Structure 1
């Protein structure tokens, strides 16, 4: 009974906030009428975008309340109100989400109060019936749980009314894909420049030196065999160094260790060679089918970049890496106990990491307050 009363009280609080928002909706209707009047007079057209922004804040507050109650986020797909006054007015009027918010405002004014009144009636009836039912018969409450159903109904109606139309979601998705495509192109260009620089400054320079030493050794072979042998020894060293440089470049493109040992094994190897005390945990990644190669490579480079940053910049001596198989995705979590303060534009490689993850339609969350710790959490969608 006590748990039921607490649940009903929480639901009543949710409905009370909804009723309060309904009262604000009633007052907002007057503001809308004023805005419409001054907009028709042209001189007051600047009020329209500001009123729409206020409407968006009200709708956003309700979205957050619904998300807190149901655990499901309601996306937003508003057209930005930027540019000249004419452009802002046109965007406010032509945005389909504006009209959906207005529809929600009008309808919510009605059901917000109705559901609260019904919940109060349920309380009055429930305290009488459930009190007798539980006190005399020792049974569970049967009336008060209806209050939670009323809160569910409010959340369901509001979620349906505030959800953006399919056309707006499609537009938002196109803009998102355009941005991630641009980021992927930029990341690809940066990767090509890095490979070219590594080949030019590393392997290519060593191969040129190797060729020169072999040529000198050939000319010295007949007149000074000892000098020629020394030059050949140097050439062999140059060849081995060139091979090491080429292996480094290949690892930067797609680490062979991923193919040989899988993501979990490759990450453990990274941890062992990072110079930090790294704890690696994996949940289901080493079991069952593997993620696609592109997803494994992105996850590997996230861990590599995070551990490199931790070792070079954060002053950390220990870190934690977690890999988890999700339903429809892969989660990568890296935490170091350093000084924090990592910035995306600070040369730490975070921008390239974000672009690499965004190119696969993944998400990146970075938390690095001054004083630490630095936490990087990445989710990559994939089909297992």
Structure 2
């Protein structure tokens, strides 16, 4: 009896919150009408997107309530209401989810209050009837399960009204891939420009100087062998410097240390040369199959950028790097114990990290509160 009473009370509480949400929907519906009229009259066009955003917030709250009660969440798919006013109006008025939310608002006005009133009317006979039955037949509640059924009915209606329209997930995925592709193209262009700049200003300049030294040595060989020998020595130095520049460019494309030592060995080499006290831990990276070359290169770049930022900006003296390989992804976590406050917009290279990871359909999360620590976590998909 106590368990049944508890379930009945939780169901009634769910219905009471739904009734309060219904009352709030009356206000939202009125705001929608005002926003629509204002948009038609132009003077209040900015009110409609904000009201649609409010409707989305109410709908999201109902999705969370349904998920909390049933244990199964209700997905949502909304395009962002950002940008200039004209663009926000277009998204607000053309998004199919907006009209599904409006349909839910209208329905919630009815069934939210109606089901709550029904539950309230049933409480007195439920207590009386269950009390009689409990006295005659022992602990056997009769009407209390009805409240669960009413609350479940409310959840079922809300789920049916609020689930995303067909194709919404695909459209959202296409939009995400479009943005990802744009970021990947921008990152690729920046990488090409960097390689071209490094070749032009570094290796190419040294190779031109090398050619000039060899030409001068050839002309001076017969008349001044000592001068020719000195020029050849200088040419050898130029050749070694050019090779160093080429190695630097190659490391920027795909670090050879990854090929030679694998991701674990390459990251440990980075840690040893970073100037920090870095603790590296790896799970599933050494023993399991290697990740694709592009994934390993992205992970190496993330660690290199994070440790470089820690040295330049955080004031940290120590850091940790964690590499975790699972059947579906490669996870990289870099944590430094510096002053924190990392800002992606300050030109710290974090935007490049995001673009490189996004090109592989990965995820980046940054946590850097003032006072530290700074944590950069990256997840790169790569099945076995």
TM-score normalized by the length of structure 2: 0.79
Say yes or no: does 1:24 pair with 2:24: yes
Structure 1 range deviating more: 102-111 or 214-223: 102-111
Structure 1 range deviating more: 225-234 or 340-349: 225-234
* Contact 1:210–1:239 under 8 Å retained in 2: yes
Q: Which secondary structure does the structure 1 equivalent of 2:345 belong to?
A: coil
Structure 1 range deviating more: 286-295 or 243-252: 286-295
Inter-partner Cα distance in structure 2 for 1:14 and 1:272: 57
* Contact 2:39–2:48 under 8 Å retained in 1: no
Inter-partner Cα distance in structure 1 for 2:285 and 2:153: 39
* Contact 1:67–1:74 under 8 Å retained in 2: no
Q: Which secondary structure does the structure 2 equivalent of 1:316 belong to?
A: coil
Inter-partner Cα distance in structure 2 for 1:235 and 1:244: 14
Structure 1 gap ranges (5+): 138-142
Say yes or no: does 1:289 pair with 2:289: yes
Deviation (angstroms), 1:327: 4.7
Deviation (angstroms), 1:167: 3.1
Deviation (angstroms), 1:212: 2.0
Q: Which secondary structure does the structure 1 equivalent of 2:167 belong to?
A: helix
* Contact 1:363–1:379 under 8 Å retained in 2: yes
Over 3 Å counting, the alpha-carbon distance change for 1:29 and 1:265 in structure 2 is: same
* Contact 1:218–1:228 under 8 Å retained in 2: yes
The within-5 A match list for 1:280-359 is 280-359=280-359
Deviations 1:178-197 (A, max 9, x none): 22111111111110111111
Over 3 Å counting, the alpha-carbon distance change for 1:334 and 1:41 in structure 2 is: closer
Inter-partner Cα distance in structure 2 for 1:347 and 1:339: 17
What is the aligned partner in structure 2 of residue 260 from structure 1? 260
What is the aligned partner in structure 2 of residue 76 from structure 1? 77
Deviations 1:78-111 (A, max 9, x none): 36376557x7666434321112112333444566
The within-5 A match list for 1:207-222 is 207-222=207-222
Structure 2 gap ranges (5+): none
Inter-partner Cα distance in structure 2 for 1:353 and 1:314: 17
What is the aligned partner in structure 2 of residue 276 from structure 1? 276
TM-score normalized by the length of structure 1: 0.79
Over 3 Å counting, the alpha-carbon distance change for 1:223 and 1:115 in structure 2 is: farther
What is the aligned partner in structure 2 of residue 383 from structure 1? 383
Deviation (angstroms), 1:350: 1.0
Structure 1 range deviating more: 177-186 or 207-216: 207-216
Over 3 Å counting, the alpha-carbon distance change for 1:153 and 1:349 in structure 2 is: farther
The within-5 A match list for 1:1-384 is 17-25=17-25, 28-29=28-29, 38=37, 46=45, 48-65=48-65, 70=71, 74-78=75-79, 80=81, 83=84, 91-108=91-108, 114=115, 158-159=158-159, 161-384=161-384
RMSD of equivalent CA atoms: 4.0
* Contact 2:187–2:355 under 8 Å retained in 1: yes
